[in-house]
Amino acid sequence: MARQRFEQGFTDEEGQTRTVWADYAVQGDARIILHVEAEPSLRGTGAAASFMQALAEHARAERLKLVPRCSYAVAWLKRHNEFRDVAA
């Protein structure tokens, strides 16, 4: 499985655009989330949570399933039952 990356930019406290990203693999209609990471200046700001919400909304709109393999994605999906339909 080839790795792919999805990125989203956020503005940090200094007004700089910083990135949150997820490395994932494609397997049919599933997106296997291998790793989610935020640049250091975004950690603790909620940017990664906003990113995961956008990722889950995209999966829902495209009728995809998310298969979390990284601990952050696993924990986020467990806390957000409203996205149970996209979790595989």
- The tens digit of pLDDT for each residue in 32-85 reads 999 999 999 998 999 999 999 999 999 999 999 999 999 999 999 999 999 999
| CATH number (domain holding residue 42) | 3.40.630.30
Domain ranges, residue 19: 3-86
Q: Are 9 and 19 in contact (CB under 8 A)?
A: yes
pTM of the model: 0.89
Q: Could you tell me which residues come within 8 angstroms of residue 49 by beta carbon, excluding any fewer than 6 positions away? A: 76
Q: Look over the chain and give the mean of its residue pLDDT values, rounded to a whole number.
A: 95
* Pairing, β 30-38 against β 65-68: parallel
With the C-alpha atoms ordered 7, 46, 73, 53, is the resulting torsion angle positive or negative?
negative
Give the chain's largest Cα–Cα span: 40
Q: How many domains does the chain have?
A: 1
pLDDT band at residue 12, thresholds of 50, 70 and 90? confident
Q: Could you tell me which residues come within 8 angstroms of residue 57 by beta carbon, excluding any fewer than 6 positions away? A: none
